[in-house]
Amino acid sequence: MKILKYFSLTTVLILCFISCKKDDDGSVDSIPANDYTEQHIIENDSIIDFMQNHFYNYEDFSNLATSDGPELIIDSIKGDNIDKISIYEQVSSLEINVKDSDGNLFPHTAYYVIIREGIGDNPTVADSVFVKYKGMLLNKDVFDQRNAPIWLQAKNVVRGFQEFVPLLKKGNINTNSDGTYNFTNFGIGFVIMPSGLGYYNGGTSNIPQYSPLIFQVQMMTLNRTDHDNDTVLTILEDLDGDSNFDNDDTDSDTIPDYQDPDDDNDGILTKDEYDVDGDGVADDTDGDGIPDYLDNE
């Protein structure tokens, strides 16, 4: 193997109940979860077999016009397609740790192809992204698709989607004379992930339990997020770097730092002690290695 500044804040904050979100009202009854390690071995073998015996429509993505973003189509390598290059020969891999309820870490492997990188900034796992996407199962059934771009909070989607999005870059935004806009040179790619990075034993009404998932993503643009408006970007409030923003709570007041305007509960708002001198570095007045906004002593 080898933002739009003219989008309204309301638009940015819309969170639709879509299949790539962590939770879904169509969830089915859960069963006791399988062992993470054993389940990942089973699914990883299935994913590798799938990639070795399938190809995607890579020829449709060659010599793309800057505004083009063809739909991902996956088919079997057989018959007239026997000479196609397999997905397995084109993917890169990404190892992502999944934490169970006891805090134990279990490595999971996602496989991805970057078809077009894009030309702008990469989002982080915390940012709002404006994307088109298509979600499929390994049997190629489509369980969700957005042909028009939609805003998503990257931290609110399934883990594999969340970790893949930062590998793509946003495109250019072009405003037309009639006030409409279009995107060019945006990032395009797809990721194949085990269920541990998706819904695992939860499933939804159209995604069975323990289902590996495939997502094609077209990354139009992004907005950096600061959920509590404390001048500290949300990505910087993930202190342990595990992409879970709800388990970082410096002052143990049950309010995660990314939603807490006073992270250390010292009575001084974070925005008033984070970077007072404006040098772009968090202030540490007493030089103890703990930034002022996290230091209540």
Last residue of a domain, one of 189, 205, 223: 223
Count: domains in the chain: 2
Q: What is the pLDDT at residue 265? A: 94
CATH of the domain at 25: 3.10.50.40
pLDDT digits (tens, 9 = 90+) for 176-229: 889 888 999 999 999 999 999 999 998 788 999 999 999 999 999 999 999 999
Both 94 and 144 in one domain: the answer is: yes
Same domain as 152, residue 283: no
Of 170, 59, 60, 164, nearest to 114 by C-alpha is 164
* 2 or 60, higher pLDDT: 60
pLDDT value of position 219: 97
How many of the other CB atoms lie within 10 Å of CB of 127? 23
User: What is the average per-residue pLDDT within 23-31?
Assistant: 49
Measure Cα distances from 56 to 76, 146, 153, 213 in Å. Answer: 9, 19, 28, 15
∠ CA 108-114-117, nearest 5°, is 130
Task: Looking at the structure, tell me whether residues 128 and 64 fall in a common domain.
Answer: yes
Which residue type occupies 269? Answer: L
Is the pLDDT confidence value at 25 over 50? no
Q: Are residues 210 and 297 in the same domain?
A: no
In a shared domain, residues 90 and 209? yes
Residue 91 confidence (pLDDT) above 90? yes
Task: Provide the CA 150 distance to its chain's centre, in angstroms.
Answer: 14
1, part of any domain:
no
Asked if 177 and 251 sit in the same domain, the reply is: no
Write down the pTM of the prediction: 0.85
* pLDDT tens digits for range 98-157: 988 888 899 999 999 999 999 999 999 999 999 999 999 999 999 999 999 999 998 889
Note the pLDDT tens digit of each residue in 228-287.
999 999 999 999 988 889 999 999 999 999 999 999 999 999 999 999 999 989 999 999
- Structural domain includes residue 2: no
Which pLDDT does position 177 carry in this prediction?
87
Structural domain includes residue 286: yes
219 with 236, same domain: the answer is: no
- Residue 70 shares a structural domain with residue 213: yes
pLDDT for res 64 = 82
- In this prediction, residue 90 carries a pLDDT of 97
Residues 160 and 73 in one domain: yes
Q: Where are the beta strands (DSSP E) in 140-232?
A: 142-153, 172-175, 181-184, 187-193, 213-223
Q: Is residue 99 domain-resident?
A: yes
**Residue numbers of the domain that contains 196:** 9-223
Asked whether residue 39 is assigned to any structural domain, the reply reads yes
Is 59 within the bounds of a domain?
yes
The residue among 51 and 155 whose pLDDT is bigger is 51
- Going by pLDDT thresholds of 50, 70 and 90, the confidence category of residue 31 is low
Residue 187 lies in a domain: yes
Shared-domain flag, residues 195 and 230: no
pLDDT for the residue numbered 286: 92
Do 200 and 136 belong together in one domain? Answer: yes
In a domain, 290, yes or no: yes
Question: Looking at per-residue confidence, does 25 or 11 come out higher?
Answer: 25
Round to whole Å and give the CA distance between 267 and 79: 70
Q: Are residues 104 and 243 in the same domain?
A: no
Residue 5 banded pLDDT, cuts 50, 70, 90: very low
What's residue 15's pLDDT? 36
The model's pLDDT over 74-88, given as tens digits with 9 standing for 90+, comes to: 999 999 999 999 999
- Of the three residues 193, 223, 253, the one that is the final residue of a domain is 223
The residue from 223, 244, 259 where one domain ends is 223
